[in-house]
């Protein structure tokens, strides 16, 4: 028996042991490679260091050439229990055993070959990964501090008073300072991380870690500063809120005092001035109070966000109290409006009364003058008195309404407490007495005029007014007309002549009225009756005026027709180039008509 046959059992056990070790090595290698390359798993540096050391240990002899050669050699020895070396001496059972063992070994070798690329890749990455995990451990303290500061900067806070706001400001300053203190460490670590991230085979988590660190750093800085700014603004608004709630008392109390001083003024001019002053004071304090309320509401919006709903009812009551104090604005406004209406009524009444006096005083003087004058004819005096009578009819009805207004505006209690009220009423009583006296005098003077005197006065005044117009009208109709050079000037000339003609008609009515007044006299006057000669002169003027209106009217009609014909001719001529057989006869007829109209217009212009 050979050595291998004598020791087959030992050799077979050794072969199987070495084969199992080969398999275990690959199992461990696969496991450790999968740990290194895991995507969603992050280790501490200590944990990864153990993985790295394990990989290093397993890959000291990555090729395993010696083991593979030994196993291949030993396979030939253990393939049979008693067979020889030659294939021909092997039994069928030994051949099957050898083939099975060879396949088992080849499967392991194939598995080994498949493991080689991923293992080599892992070997290339593991050192960089280890540095990445080491970096991850290094930034944890800084990142943790920044995350804690960010949490403090954004967490909900609800200080209920200004003192608590001050405490929160102190805390926010500490947060800002803590973040600032991390600046150097952050800069050094971030630069180191960027440099590491630029290398090949870097761990996938490093980019996310850098982004998280940068985002957290930026957010911690921004949010901590925002929190302090918000708290500082809230503190300022809260101080303003508390101050204004106290300050609002001053303008409100000032308006309360003003309201107590409001009263009627019985002199309209003084009343207007005083009310303007009081309205100015009201406007100033109203503006101050409304600005204060607006500021309080603005501050309230800031405070309520910070203080929270628990404080809302309390703050709402404080704002409502301020709004109640502003109620004095409307009270003062209503009272000032009433006083203003009173003063306007008084002003109108006094103005109307003084206007009545402004009529009565010169009228009284005129009545005295009419009694004493020797420069005016009886007819002129009569006419003046009748004119005064007509005016008096419009003035006398004003007295009683004014008297009622004065009594309504200046009642007993007003007169008792105010000398100005008594003075204003006295002024009216004087005006009233004067006006009644003048109206009575006018009635007395008018009562002395006989019907014949009244009729003759109408005749005389009518003739006196007619003569100047008659002389002017005769000048107008004797003056030659200016020839118009355009249709527009012809239309203007026609309008002027029609106006003269219409005035003639109106004036004839005045002359006829004067003549009728003389005819109606019971005892005819011995003075010359001028109606007939003036009527003759009027007829002469009217005749010329009628002729002129007729001539100019014909001229305007002819000019309009000529203009329309000219436009028609232009349109027809514009159509000729477009027509195959233009109607020449029609065009000639239009031009003949144009020529006729033009000749007629020229003759009419010469006639004018």
500 located within any domain = no
The whole-number pLDDT of residue 44 equals 58
Angstrom CA distances, 534 to 95, 142, 462, 529, 537, stand at 169, 123, 12, 10, 5
Name residues whose C-beta falls within 8 Å of residue 289's C-beta, 6 or more positions apart in sequence. 248, 251, 252, 255, 325, 326, 329
Last residue of a domain, one of 449, 473, 488: 449
Cα dihedral 108/112/115/119 (nearest 10): 140
Residue 581: count other Cβ atoms within 10 Å of its Cβ. 5
Name residues whose C-beta falls within 8 Å of residue 127's C-beta, 6 or more positions apart in sequence. 52
The token pair at 380 is 């002129």
The whole-number pLDDT of residue 83 equals 44
Angstrom CA distances, 533 to 225, 226, 475, 492, stand at 109, 106, 17, 33
User: What integer is the mean pLDDT of 142-171?
Assistant: 83
Q: Is the dihedral of CA 532, 533, 535, 536 positive or negative?
A: positive
The whole-number pLDDT of residue 111 equals 66
The 10s digit of each residue's pLDDT in 169-216 is 888 889 889 889 998 898 888 888 888 777 777 777 788 888 899 999
The whole-number pLDDT of residue 602 equals 76
96 located within any domain = yes
CA distance 281 to 273: 13
487 located within any domain = no
Q: Are 523 and 452 in contact (CB under 8 A)?
A: yes
Residues 215 and 344 reside in one and the same domain: no
Residues 61 and 210 reside in one and the same domain: no
User: What integer is the mean pLDDT of 342-359?
Assistant: 96
The 10s digit of each residue's pLDDT in 472-508 is 999 988 988 888 888 888 889 889 999 999 999 999 9
Last residue of a domain, one of 148, 166, 183: 148
> Could you tell me where the DSSP H helices lie in 267-326?
268-307, 312-325
Name residues whose C-beta falls within 8 Å of residue 408's C-beta, 6 or more positions apart in sequence. none
Lowest mean pLDDT among 70-74, 210-214, 223-227, 544-548: 70-74
User: What integer is the mean pLDDT of 334-355?
Assistant: 96
445 located within any domain = yes
Residues 302 and 388 reside in one and the same domain: yes
- Nearest Cα neighbor of 607 from 551, 543, 554 is 551
Q: Can you spell out the DSSP letters for 130-166? A: HHHHHHHHHHHHHHHHHHHHHHHHHS-----SHHHHH
541 located within any domain = no
> What confidence tier does 356 reach under pLDDT thresholds 50, 70, 90?
very high
470 located within any domain = no
Residue 73: count other Cβ atoms within 10 Å of its Cβ. 10
Is residue 165 packed enough to be buried (19+ CB in 10 Å), middle (13-18) or exposed (0-12)? Answer: buried
Q: Which position has the token pair 């809230």?
A: 234
For residue 5, pLDDT over 80 is answered with: no
585 located within any domain = no
The whole-number pLDDT of residue 116 equals 63
> Could you tell me where the DSSP H helices lie in 308-326?
312-325
No. of helices (H) and no. of strands (E), the chain: 20, 0
Cα dihedral 433/434/437/442 (nearest 10): -150
Average pLDDT, rounded, for the chain: 81
Residues 113 and 226 reside in one and the same domain: no
Choice between 357 and 82, residue whose per-residue pLDDT is larger: 357
Residues 293 and 348 reside in one and the same domain: yes
Q: Can you spell out the DSSP letters for 197-247? A: HTSTT--HHHHHHHHHHHHHHHHHHHHHHHHHHHHHHHHHHHHHHHHHHHH
What is residue 522's DSSP assignment? Answer: S
Residues 133 and 194 reside in one and the same domain: no
Choice between 65 and 145, residue whose per-residue pLDDT is larger: 145
Q: For residue 120, what is the domain's CATH number?
A: 1.20.58
The 10s digit of each residue's pLDDT in 427-463 is 999 999 999 999 999 888 877 777 877 787 788 878 8
564 located within any domain = no
Residues 439 and 312 reside in one and the same domain: yes
The whole-number pLDDT of residue 1 equals 42
Residues 287 and 356 reside in one and the same domain: yes
> What confidence tier does 41 reach under pLDDT thresholds 50, 70, 90?
low
What is the total count of domains within the chain? Answer: 3
Q: Is the dihedral of CA 458, 464, 468, 473 positive or negative?
A: positive
Residues 142 and 162 reside in one and the same domain: no
The 10s digit of each residue's pLDDT in 570-584 is 776 767 666 667 666
Residues 136 and 182 reside in one and the same domain: no
Q: Which position has the token pair 């109070």?
A: 289
Cα dihedral 409/415/418/420 (nearest 10): 60
> What confidence tier does 470 reach under pLDDT thresholds 50, 70, 90?
very high
The whole-number pLDDT of residue 281 equals 96
Residues 292 and 400 reside in one and the same domain: yes
Q: Are 79 and 94 in contact (CB under 8 A)?
A: yes
For residue 141, pLDDT over 80 is answered with: yes
Which range of residues forms the domain containing residue 346?
248-449
Residues 41 and 107 reside in one and the same domain: yes
- Nearest Cα neighbor of 464 from 511, 520, 532 is 511
CA distance 28 to 54: 9
């Amino acid at each position: 028996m050979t050595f291998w046959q004598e020791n087959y059992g030992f050799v077979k056990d050794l072969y199987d042991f070495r084969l199992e070790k080969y398999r275990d090595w690959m199992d461990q290698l696969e496991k450790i490679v999968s740990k290194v390359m895991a995507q969603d798993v992050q280790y501490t540096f200590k944990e990864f260091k153990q993985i790295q050391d394990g990989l290093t240990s397993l890959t000291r002899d990555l090729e395993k050439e010696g083991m593979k050669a030994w196993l291949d050699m030993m396979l030939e020895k253990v393939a049979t229990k008693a067979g020889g070396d030659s294939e021909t001496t092997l039994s069928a059972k030994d051949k099957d055993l050898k083939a099975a063992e060879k396949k088992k070994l080849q499967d392991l070798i194939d598995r080994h070959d498949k493991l080689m690329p991923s293992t080599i890749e892992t070997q290339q990455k593991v050192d960089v990964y280890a540095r990445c995990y080491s970096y991850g451990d290094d930034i944890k303290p800084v990142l943790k501090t920044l995350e804690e500061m960010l949490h403090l900067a954004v967490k909900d806070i609800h200080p209920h008073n200004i003192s608590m706001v001050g405490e929160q400001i102190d805390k926010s300053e500490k947060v800002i300072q803590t973040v600032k203190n991390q600046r150097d460490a952050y800069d050094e670590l971030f630069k180191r991380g960027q440099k590491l991230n630029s290398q090949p085979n870097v761990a996938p988590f490093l980019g996310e870690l850098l982004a998280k660190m940068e985002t957290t750093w930026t957010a911690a800085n921004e949010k901590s500063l925002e929190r302090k700014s918000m708290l500082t603004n809230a503190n300022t608004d809260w101080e303003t809120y508390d101050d204004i709630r106290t300050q609002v008392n001053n303008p409100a109390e000032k308006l309360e005092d003003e309201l107590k001083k409001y009263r009627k003024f019985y002199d309209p001019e003084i009343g207007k001035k005083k009310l303007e002053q009081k309205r100015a004071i009201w406007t100033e304090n109203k503006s101050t109070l409304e600005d204060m309320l607006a500021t309080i509401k603005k501050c309230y919006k800031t405070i309520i966000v910070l203080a929270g709903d628990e404080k809302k009812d309390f703050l709402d009551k404080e704002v409502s109290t301020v709004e109640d104090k502003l109620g004095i604005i409307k009270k003062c406004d209503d009272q000032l409006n009433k006083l203003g209406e009173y003063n306007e009524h008084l002003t109108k009444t006094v103005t109307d009364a003084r206007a009545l006096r402004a009529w009565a005083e010169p009228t009284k003087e005129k009545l005295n003058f009419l009694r004493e004058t020797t420069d005016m004819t009886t007819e002129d005096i009569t006419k003046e008195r009748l004119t005064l009578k007509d005016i008096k009819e419009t003035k006398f009805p004003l007295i009683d309404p004014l008297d009622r207004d004065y009594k309504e505006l200046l009642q007993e209690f007003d007169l008792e407490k105010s000398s100005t009220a008594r003075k204003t009423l006295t002024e009216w009583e004087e005006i009233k007495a004067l006006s009644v006296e003048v109206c009575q005098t006018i009635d007395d003077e008018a009562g002395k005029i006989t019907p014949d005197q009244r009729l003759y006065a109408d005749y005389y005044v009518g003739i006196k007014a007619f003569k100047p117009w008659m002389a002017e009208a005769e000048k107008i109709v004797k003056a030659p007309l200016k020839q118009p050079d355009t249709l527009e000037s012809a239309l203007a000339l026609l309008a002027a002549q029609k106006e003269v003609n219409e005035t003639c008609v109106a004036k004839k009515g005045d002359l006829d009225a004067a003549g009728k007044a003389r005819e109606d006299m019971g005892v005819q006057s011995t003075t010359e009756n001028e109606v007939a000669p003036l009527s003759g002169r009027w007829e002469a003027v009217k005749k010329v005026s009628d002729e002129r209106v007729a001539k100019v009217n014909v001229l305007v009609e002819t000019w309009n027709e000529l203009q329309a014909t000219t436009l028609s001719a232009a349109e027809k001529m514009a159509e000729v180039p477009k027509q195959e057989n233009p109607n020449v006869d029609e065009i000639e007829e239009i031009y003949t008509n144009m020529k006729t109209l033009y000749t007629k217009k020229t003759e009419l212009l010469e006639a004018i």
